[in-house]
Structure 1
Amino acid sequence: MTTLTPGPFIWAAELITLLGIAARPSKYRRLLFLLVAPLCIYPMFLPKAATSHDNYARTGRLISLLLVSSDFLVLTDVQNELRLRNDKASPHISQRSWWSRLKWAFQLRTSMRGVGWSFEPSPEHLGPRPPVRTRWEFIIYQLIWTAFNSLALDLCVATAKTIPYFDGTGRETLATAPWPDKLLCWLYIAISYHGLLVPFRILTILSVGLGLSQPHEWPELFGNPLDAYTVRRAWGRVWQQSIRRVCTIPPSSIMCVPLD
């Protein structure tokens, strides 16, 4: 018997969302969300993955996609409200060809932090901008740091495999651990930190190397750890801001709904 996996549902939801963003402004465009919602919700009830980490990643991916789709298809008239700052071309995006709108939609969907867009966070909420470098200087710099982050990630993962709290079964958790052991949460943070930086740096190398973007368009993924002296600053200034918009736009829209 074939077991269903979340993959096809996620790809289908992504495709519908992308096509919806590319569609010209219309009051009917938001109806596409009725197709996306079940594609994101149903896989959450499929058989669990082998480890709790895989379950967490799968569920987080689906919830994030659901929120992004609700933002771009329902809550925001994307082609009239959002714009690329360096896009001075004419006519307006809604009047361009289907292919131009599809490329614009892809740029919007893949710009998780909004860098270069009208909704880009203020500088204090993004990592530091890279200094002025040539394309090859930027690529070499990123390659060096990719190697470092990869080695650090391997070391952290190898260490975690020797600790029962990180075996993925959920039998032992840091929530019930004695206080000295709770400090091991920093190992999980380190795994997340380096685990996010490796694909990020590879993406910067590919994008800049292929001429799809410029080095100055890639601020660092994380801010200065020394700025994380409060919970708010840790999440708002130091940690990556990829989910900043999806965590603010839907709640803000709900709060604006009249109750009478």
Structure 2
Amino acid sequence: MNSDSGRPPIPLWLLASPYVLSFAALMFTSRTVRKAMFLPIASLVIRITTIGMPAGACPIASALVLQRFTMCDLLLLTDSHAELHLVGQSAPSAGSLPLFARAKWVVHLLTSPRLIGWTNEPTTGALPPRPTETSRMRFAATQIAYLALHLLTMNVLGISMRLSPSFSRDGPGLAGGGWGRRSVDVLQYYGVVWSAISIPHRVAVLVLLGTGRWMPCDLPPMFAPLGNAYTLRRFWGNMHHQTLRRVVTSHANFVSQKLLHFPRQDRFSACVQLYTAFFESGAIHHWAEYMIMPLDNFGLLACGSMKFFLLQAAGIHCEDIMISAARRMGWRVNAESARSRRALRVIGCIYVWQWFTWCVPINVDPPVRIGMIENGLRVTIIQDLCKFVGKGCYIPT
């Protein structure tokens, strides 16, 4: 892997080492040994950080940093063998499973960040509804259609973003454009994020369907419908992907209940958990962003992810206060007509959109200035088709 960040390339064995050690750590039956295994895993991620990555490798950097925080949860904060159980698991602890069965259990755990199929799966409506389709063939056809749509979306938005000066390395950034352009640019950026996360998930769903061991009802989508995002809390806690939910809530509960000893239902506990969860999410993204920053003219403070995610916690906190105040004054949305509820939800979605129009540049502009968009993954289906048209057809790649 060649780096354009002023750092030497990273050996592939070093990139794979945190995952190999994570698997090995969870195979040990002794909790003391599992805890001790966290140190080499964290050290490897720190070592990779000192080497750095090119701007186009941001997804790899994010995955590595997330693995470090995930293993902190599974090895230090949680007795994963005793507390996490697959649905239908007869053994009281993963440590009592035979070696091969325990290896399968570990693979399930490391590939199930949302804990789907586990007794610990979130039950508060945080995950999108499970599909009701019963035919594997029809469900697979639907996934293929969505996969094609995501790829086409990535292609179209990739073209439009490369034509926009806001996403150019030498451009003004998202913050440098007028509010109208900025609003459109934020939608484009989230469309790429949505598709880039959904594509590997759709592929994984098709692979799992092909094994014959999973039904469509076992494979909920990665994102809930956009119509659910009519408040900031619902955007982050319901509509957006929930792959970080387990790791951030585990750390948040540890800080609130074990360090500060707040009661579980206490309002101060909820506030501490909110800010801790977004602080950790900010730390994950900030760390990964730092890994792709060049050494010559960027430092840790040049990244914007921590500020962005702490702003989300503050925004949700203020939003909760305003909604609570409205309810105390007797305003009940559920008491209104269906048309009024729909109108209020549309207004809420526009408010969320404009909130992100204001704050997303804080997070996106620093990576854009080092070429994250220009050097990122490209889908060129339309460009490849245009090659058959002739020299008169030019679409930037």
Partner in structure 1 of residue 18 of structure 2: 13
Judged with a 3 Å threshold, the aligned counterparts in structure 2 of structure 1 residues 258 and 68 are, in CA distance, closer, same or farther, namely closer
**Residue 126 of structure 1, CA deviation:** 0.9
The amino acid across from 2:153 in the alignment is A
The amino acid across from 1:86 in the alignment is G
Partner in structure 1 of residue 256 of structure 2: 255
Quick check: which has more Rg, 1 or 2? 2
Judged with a 3 Å threshold, the aligned counterparts in structure 2 of structure 1 residues 170 and 215 are, in CA distance, closer, same or farther, namely farther
Q: Is the aligned partner of 1:35 residue 2:37?
A: no
Partner in structure 2 of residue 110 of structure 1: 111
- Offset from partner CA, 1:163-209 (integer Å, 9 cap, x none): 12223x37532134332221111100001111211111111011111
Partner Cα separation in structure 1 for residue 162 and residue 171 of structure 2: 14
Partner Cα separation in structure 2 for residue 61 and residue 19 of structure 1: 18
Judged with a 3 Å threshold, the aligned counterparts in structure 2 of structure 1 residues 75 and 24 are, in CA distance, closer, same or farther, namely same
Partner Cα separation in structure 2 for residue 177 and residue 212 of structure 1: 50
Q: Is the aligned partner of 1:229 residue 2:230?
A: yes
- Offset from partner CA, 1:105-142 (integer Å, 9 cap, x none): 00011001111112211252111211132222221121
Partner Cα separation in structure 2 for residue 26 and residue 19 of structure 1: 13
**Which residue among 46, 61, 64 is the counterpart of 1:62?**
64
Q: Is the aligned partner of 1:124 residue 2:125?
A: yes
1:45-84 correspondence runs (5 A): 45-49=50-54, 51=55, 54=56, 56-84=58-86
* Contact 2:53/2:61, CA 8 A, preserved across alignment: no
Pairwise CA RMSD of aligned residues?
2.2
Partner in structure 1 of residue 179 of structure 2: 179
Partner Cα separation in structure 2 for residue 213 and residue 25 of structure 1: 32
Judged with a 3 Å threshold, the aligned counterparts in structure 2 of structure 1 residues 258 and 154 are, in CA distance, closer, same or farther, namely closer
- Offset from partner CA, 1:66-85 (integer Å, 9 cap, x none): 10010111111111001012
* Contact 2:157/2:191, CA 8 A, preserved across alignment: yes
The SS at the match of 2:25 is: helix
Structure 2 spans left out of the alignment, 5+ residues:
3-7, 262-397
Tell me the TM-score normalised to structure 1 length.
Answer: 0.89
* Contact 1:130/1:215, CA 8 A, preserved across alignment: yes
The SS at the match of 1:157 is: helix
Partner Cα separation in structure 2 for residue 9 and residue 191 of structure 1: 29
The amino acid across from 1:29 in the alignment is R
The SS at the match of 1:28 is: helix
The amino acid across from 2:16 in the alignment is W
* Contact 2:147/2:199, CA 8 A, preserved across alignment: yes
Partner Cα separation in structure 2 for residue 23 and residue 170 of structure 1: 51
Partner in structure 2 of residue 158 of structure 1: 159
**Residue 47 of structure 1, CA deviation:** 4.0
Aligned length: 254
* Contact 1:85/1:118, CA 8 A, preserved across alignment: yes
Partner Cα separation in structure 1 for residue 256 and residue 176 of structure 2: 36
**Residue 42 of structure 1, CA deviation:** 1.9
The amino acid across from 1:77 in the alignment is D
- Offset from partner CA, 1:147-170 (integer Å, 9 cap, x none): 122112211111111112223x37
Tell me the TM-score normalised to structure 2 length.
Answer: 0.60
* Contact 1:23/1:101, CA 8 A, preserved across alignment: no
